[in-house]
């Protein structure tokens, strides 16, 4: 009877911990991270009921322009310019290891089976038109020790994040090729000529298809590659595009692949968004985000899809947008500053960052500002991610910042202007969670008292 009572208490406590937001496994992040921003819709979101972290700053050696990756209890990040690579304990902030790549790091450090994979290279062009000077390629490192397992060199840069699929590693490059490697050995398994340069358009793998945007030689071309047959399924040309298509990691949802690009010229650039059929490459709809001022780097904002809506920031118009995924109609827009990174959304709130160091929280239905958070440095082109109600974002001030979503304030020095939206009362991102927390806490206390009285009664008998 005593063993049964202990088992009942154990099971009850386990259930209570899960209900109250405590991960029984002890692992804070997901078990793997196999492509840019983890998910095909590019909404980098994960929740296993762990409690949010307290505010932390992870200090690196140089500018952070890659999106941080959280797997288990580790955070992985690399540096622009210096090529330094880091792993941190996500809960304590302790640096676990540091290593170095031969060139810039703009790629995420993706993870699978105890290894991290990261691309390296720079944006400068060789005389032959290949993008990337000095050494370019991809590294595989032991996730525990940071030791390099293998290195594979390419003729052009690997600034896009690699992607893993069914035992193979895929990399798009500045030498206009798509490489398929063995992730255990780095052996080349297959090489396909894309015909256009991938600068930062990280491949998106969805249901056996790989999608990637490319630039020169003109016309700019968007490609879909069948990973089963190792053949291109379709390639759609964009003759009016002069920039951006090769920079944007596409987002995929509901049989549509969404990307953005610039048309016109650098004196009068127009920012456009396109949705293509994943099976044919036909353009289902296109939308103009407007005309504005040309920016030097990361010229075209990266889209994210959440609950049937496309969210994207434009560095050209300095405006954040919500569009209907199916029709391509604008729902609302929020005037702000230069923004380049993909946003993230949770609980009907969308979060985006700008180059002034701010992260904003907006209502997904109306565009009404709910809160904001001021950080340091330029928050570009690294976008925010959310793991267990904790936001992580890299900055060009060399830090990765982590803080609970409850820290978003309803006021601040910087503001924005919302259009085409009905005004609604602001709401705290954690209000609904707090109500559930207190209800479950009360039930837990009542049940624990009941179990204690039952065990005491049995002991007397």
Stronger pLDDT, 409 or 163, i.e. the higher one: 163
**314 DSSP β-pair partners:** 319
Residue 64 near residue 75 (C-beta atoms within 8 A): no
Model confidence band, residue 420 (pLDDT cutoffs 50, 70, 90): low
Q: What is the pLDDT of residue 337?
A: 94
The pLDDT of residue 295 is 84
Residue 432 has pLDDT above 50, yes or no: no
Q: What is the pLDDT of residue 415?
A: 54
Rounded to whole angstroms, the Cα distance separating 27 from 22 reads 10
Average pLDDT across the chain, whole number: 89
For the segment 159-197, what is each residue's pLDDT rounded down to a tens digit? 999 999 999 999 999 999 999 999 999 999 999 999 999
For residues 378-398, give the mean pLDDT: 96
pLDDT the model gives residue 88: 98
Quote the pLDDT of residue 422.
Answer: 36
Look up tokens 């009877």; give the residue. Answer: 1
Q: Which residue has the higher pLDDT, 380 or 360?
A: 360
Burial class (CB in 10 A: 0-12, 13-18, 19+), 453: exposed
DSSP state at residue 375: -
The partner residues of 274 in beta bridges, in order of sequence, read 259, 286
Mean pLDDT along residues 344-368: 97
Q: Is beta strand 45-46 parallel, antiparallel or unpaired with respect to 385-387?
A: parallel
pLDDT for res 436:
43
Lowest mean per-residue pLDDT among 29-33, 72-76, 377-381, 398-402: 377-381
CA quadruple 127, 133, 135, 141: dihedral sign: negative
Is the model's pLDDT at 431 over the cut of 60? Answer: no
pLDDT in tens, 62-96: 999 999 999 999 999 999 999 999 999 999 999 99
Full DSSP string of 114-180: TEEEEEE--SPBPTTS-B--S-EEEEEEETTT--EEEEEEESS---SPPEEETTEEEEE-TTSEEEE
φ/ψ (deg, to 5) at 225: -120, 125
410 pLDDT band (50/70/90 cuts)?
low
What percent of the chain lies above the pLDDT cut of 90? Answer: 80
pLDDT of residue 452: 56
Segment 270-288, tens digit of pLDDT? 999 999 999 999 999 999 9
State whether the Cα torsion 146-149-155-160 is positive or negative. negative
pLDDT, tens digit, 9 for 90 and up, residues 331-347: 999 999 999 999 999 99
Q: Which residue has the higher pLDDT, 240 or 17?
A: 240
Single out the residue of 87, 84, 79 nearest to residue 114, CA to CA.
87
pLDDT (tens digit per residue) in 291-300: 999 988 777 8
Q: Is the pLDDT of residue 25 over 90?
A: no
Packing angle, helices 2-19 and 431-460, rounded to 10: 170
* pLDDT band, very low/low/confident/very high, at 216 (cuts 50, 70, 90): confident
Question: Would you say residue 211 has pLDDT above 80?
Answer: yes
The distance from CA 25 to its chain's CA centroid, rounded to whole angstroms, is 24
């Amino acid at each position: 009877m005593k063993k049964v009572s202990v088992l009942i208490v154990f099971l009850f406590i386990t259930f209570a911990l899960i209900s109250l937001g405590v991960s029984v496994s002890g692992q804070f992040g997901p078990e793997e991270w196999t492509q840019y921003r983890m998910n095909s819709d590019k909404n980098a979101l994960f929740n296993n009921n762990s409690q949010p972290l307290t505010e932390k700053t992870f200090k690196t050696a140089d500018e952070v322009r890659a999106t941080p990756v959280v797997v288990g209890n580790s955070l992985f990040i690399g540096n622009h310019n210096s090529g330094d690579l880091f792993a941190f304990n996500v809960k304590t902030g302790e640096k676990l290891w540091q290593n170095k790549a031969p060139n810039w790091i703009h790629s995420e450090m993706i993870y699978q089976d105890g290894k991290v994979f990261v691309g390296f290279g720079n944006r400068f062009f060789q005389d032959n038109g290949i993008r990337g000077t000095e050494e370019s390629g991809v590294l595989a490192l032991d996730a525990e020790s940071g030791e390099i397992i293998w290195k594979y060199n390419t003729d052009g840069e690997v600034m896009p994040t690699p992607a893993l699929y069914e035992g193979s590693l895929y990399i798009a490059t500045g030498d206009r090729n798509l490489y398929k490697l063995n992730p255990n050995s780095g052996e080349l398994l297959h090489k396909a000529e894309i015909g256009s340069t991938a600068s930062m358009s990280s491949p998106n793998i969805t249901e056996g298809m790989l999608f990637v945007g490319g630039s020169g030689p003109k016309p700019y071309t968007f490609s879909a590659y069948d990973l089963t047959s190792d053949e291109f399924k379709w390639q759609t040309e964009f003759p009016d595009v002069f920039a951006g298509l090769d920079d944007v990691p596409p987002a995929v949802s509901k049989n549509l692949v969404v990307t953005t690009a610039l048309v016109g010229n650098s004196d009068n650039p127009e920012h456009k968004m396109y949705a293509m059929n994943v099976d044919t490459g036909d353009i289902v709809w296109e939308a103009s985000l407007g005309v504005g001022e040309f920016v030097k780097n990361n010229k075209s904002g990266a889209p994210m899809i959440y609950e049937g809506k496309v969210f994207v920031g434009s560095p050209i118009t300095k405006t954040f947008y919500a569009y209907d995924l199916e029709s391509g109609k604008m729902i609302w827009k929020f005037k702000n500053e230069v923004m380049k990174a993909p946003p993230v959304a949770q609980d009907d709130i969308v979060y985006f960052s700008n180059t002034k160091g701010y992260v904003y929280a907006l209502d997904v239905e109306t565009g009404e500002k709910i809160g904001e958070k001021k950080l340091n440095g330029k928050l570009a082109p690294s976008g925010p991610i959310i793991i267990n109600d904790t936001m992580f974002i890299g900055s060009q001030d060399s830090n990765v910042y982590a803080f609970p979503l409850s820290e978003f304030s309803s006021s601040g020095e910087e503001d924005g202007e919302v259009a085409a939206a009905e005004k609604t009362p602001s709401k705290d991102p954690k209000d609904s969670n707090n109500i559930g927390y207190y209800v479950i806490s009360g039930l837990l206390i009542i049940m624990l008292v009941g179990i204690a009285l039952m065990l005491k009664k049995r002991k007397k008998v």
